Amino acid sequence: MLDPQLIRTQLDDLTQKLFLRGFILDHARLAELEARRKQIQVETEQLQSERNKRSKAIGQAKAKGEDVTPLLETVAQLGEQLKASEMALEDIQTQLNDILLGIPNLPHDTVPIGRTGDDNVEVRRIGTPKEFAFPPLDHVDLGAKLGQLDFETAAKIAGARFTLIRGPLARLHRALTQFMLDLHTQEHGYTEVYVPYLVNADSLLGTGQLPKFAEDLFHIPLQNYYLIPTAEVPITNIVRDLIWKTEDLPAKFVAHTPCFRSEAGSYGKDTRGMIRQHQFEKVEMVQWVKPEDSYTALEELTAHAETVLQRLELPYRVVSLCTGDLGFASAKTYDLEVWLPGQQHYREISSCSNFEAFQARRLKARYRDPNTKKPNLLHTLNGSGLAVGRTLVAIMENYQDEGGRIFIPPVLQNYLGGRTHIQ
RNA sequence: GGAGAGAUGGCCGAGAGGCUGAAGGCACUCCCCUGCUAAGGGAGGAUGGGCUGUAGAGGCUCAUCGAGGGUUCGAAUCCCUCUCUCUCCGCCA
C-alpha cells in the first residue's frame, strides 16, 4: 500500500508514476472521495468530541448527586446525528481503502521505463552457454528417456500441471534444496525457518496477493485457508503487527516450501514439462531492513541467489524488470534467467525484489528509529534462491550427454552419496 | 471432540460502567549523586489517524485494552459472535 499522504499532497505526480507501470489511476474519483472524506471526518470527530464532553459532564453531575435529566435531554438527538455521520465516514473510508489496496507500488527511479517484458534491461550475463556436439534435448524428453519424470501418472493422480519424479532424479531434486539451504544459512547469514503452508487471508493481504490476485491462489473455503503461492507470504508475515528490535536488523530468513499456484489465465502457456506447475518447490530468502539499507540489500540478496547458479555452474543473466513488467508490490525487481539448452532460451529461475515500505505498511511491520525514537516502517525484500523445479530442469538440460545421461554438478555430488551422474 | 481459565502499552501486571489512555513494576531516555561499575534519587514517556500549522517545533481533536457487533448519555469494565492461548480428559503423527 502506498502512503495515503501521497494521495492528498502529490496526486498528480503519483498518477504519472503509476502510468509508467501501466496503471491508470482514477484521479478525479480519488480527489473527490478524498475531499468528501475530509469533510465528513472532521464533522464526525466534532460530534464525537461533543458527545464525549457531555457524557463527562453527566458523569460529574451524577457524582455530585445532581439531577441529570436536563443534561440527558441535550444529548438526545446528538446520538442519531453521530451515528449517521459515523456510517457515512465508514462507507467512504472503505471505498478509499479498497482503491488504495488495489494500487501497485511506485517504481524506483532506477527502474527502466517500458511496457512489457521485451523492455526489460539485461544487467549482466554470467557464464557461456555450452556448445553441444548434438542437438540437446529438453528436460521432458530427457526425463522420459530416463524414465524418471512422469507427467502422465501425475495427471492421473492429480491433473494437468503436476509432476511425478522417480528415483535418482527425485533425489537430485531433494539434494538441490539441501544445497541451497546450506549455502544461504552457512555462507549468507540467513536463519532457516519452517513455516505453515496454509495461511489466512490477513497474511495474503499483508504481502499483497489479496485482494487483487485471489484467482491465482488455491483456496480452501471450508476452513478459509489459502495454500501459499510462495514462502514470501508466511516468512514476511513473521513481522506483521510487530515493532522489530532495531538491533536485530537486518533480519534475514530462508525457508524451503512447496508453492501452489492456480495458474489461472496461463492456459496454453508453458504447458510442456515442469516449467509452470500448480505445485513446485522453492527456497526463498526474505529480508527486512532499515529503509536506508534496502537498495544495498537488494543487490546483496540478488548476489545470494546468483551464487547458487554460479556454484552449479549454470549460465544465466540478470535482468532489471521494466516499469510495465514489475510485480504489483515491487519497487524494483531483478530476475535471474538461466540458460535452457532445450529451449535455446534464458528462463526465469529467480526473482529478487525490494518492496520498500509497500508491504510493511499493510503489515504494520515497524522498527524503532534510534534517532527519533518513533516507530517507522521497515523495508521488505525477497528473492528465490532458487526455484527448485526449474533448477532441476536447468541441470538436466545443461548437464546432459548424447546418451541422455545427466551429470551431477560437482557441488551436489556429496549430497547424492558421491554419485556423478544419473542414467 | 468434552470441561474449564484467559487475552490490557516494548515486556510483566492491576483495573470489574464516568475523574482510567489506563495504577505498579521491568526495560528505555534525560538529569542528580557516586573514584569506575553496581546501587540510590528525580523527571519523561503508548500506538495510529484527522484538522490546523512558521509543515517533522507547536496547537486542537478522534480512535485504539484479542477481533467484530450490541446495550448505554458514557464501555477495558455489561451482553452476543468469532479468533487465539493455557490446563485437564479423549484421540492422534
Position of cell 455530585? Answer: A64
Residue A194: predicted pLDDT: 92
| C1'-nearest nucleotide to the CA of A57 | B18
A375 sits within 7 Å of strand B by its CB: yes
Distance A70 CA to B48 C1' (A): 36
A51 sits within 7 Å of strand B by its CB: yes
| C1'-nearest nucleotide to the CA of A71 | B73
User: What is the torsion angle, in degrees rounded to the nearest 10, for the CA atoms of residue A331, residue A334, residue A340 and residue A346?
Assistant: 80
Residue A256: what are its φ and ψ, rounded to 5°?
-105, 125
Residues 126-155 of A near strand B (Cβ < 7 Å)?
none
| C1'-nearest nucleotide to the CA of A4 | B49
Give A239's DSSP letter: G
A166 sits within 7 Å of strand B by its CB: no
Give A400's DSSP letter: B
Residue A68: predicted pLDDT: 75
The pLDDT tens digits along chain A (423 residues) read 899 888 888 888 899 999 999 999 999 999 999 999 999 999 999 999 999 999 988 888 887 777 777 778 778 788 888 989 999 999 999 999 999 999 999 999 999 999 999 999 999 999 999 999 999 999 999 999 999 999 999 999 999 999 999 999 999 999 999 999 999 999 999 999 999 999 999 999 999 999 899 999 999 888 888 999 999 999 999 999 888 888 888 999 999 999 999 998 888 889 899 999 999 999 999 999 999 999 999 999 999 999 999 999 999 999 999 999 999 999 999 999 999 999 999 999 999 999 999 999 999 998 888 877 788 899 999 999 999 999 999 999 999 999 999 999 999 999 999 999 999
Strand order in the sheet with A366-368: A243-244, A366-368, A375-377
Residue A243: predicted pLDDT: 87
A8 sits within 7 Å of strand B by its CB: yes
pTM score, whole prediction: 0.93
E strand or H helix that includes residue A191: strand A191-192
- Among the listed residues A348, A368, A405, A419, the single catalytic one is A348
| C1'-nearest nucleotide to the CA of A371 | B29
A171 catalytic per annotation:
no
Residue A231: predicted pLDDT: 96
A240 catalytic per annotation:
no
Contacts of A275 (CB under 8 A, 6+ apart): A347, A389, A390, A393
A366 sits within 7 Å of strand B by its CB: yes
Strand order in the sheet with A225-227: A198-199, A225-227, A219-220
Positions of E strands within A201-298: 219-220, 225-227, 243-244, 251-260, 279-289
Distance A56 CA to B74 C1' (A): 7
Which nucleotides along chain B are within 7 A of a protein C-beta?
A: 10, 18-19, 47-51, 56, 61-63, 73-74
A351 catalytic per annotation:
yes
A110 sits within 7 Å of strand B by its CB: no
**Local structure of A127: helix, strand or coil:** coil
Residue A373: predicted pLDDT: 79
- Among the listed residues A51, A276, A368, A419, the single catalytic one is A276
A54 sits within 7 Å of strand B by its CB: yes
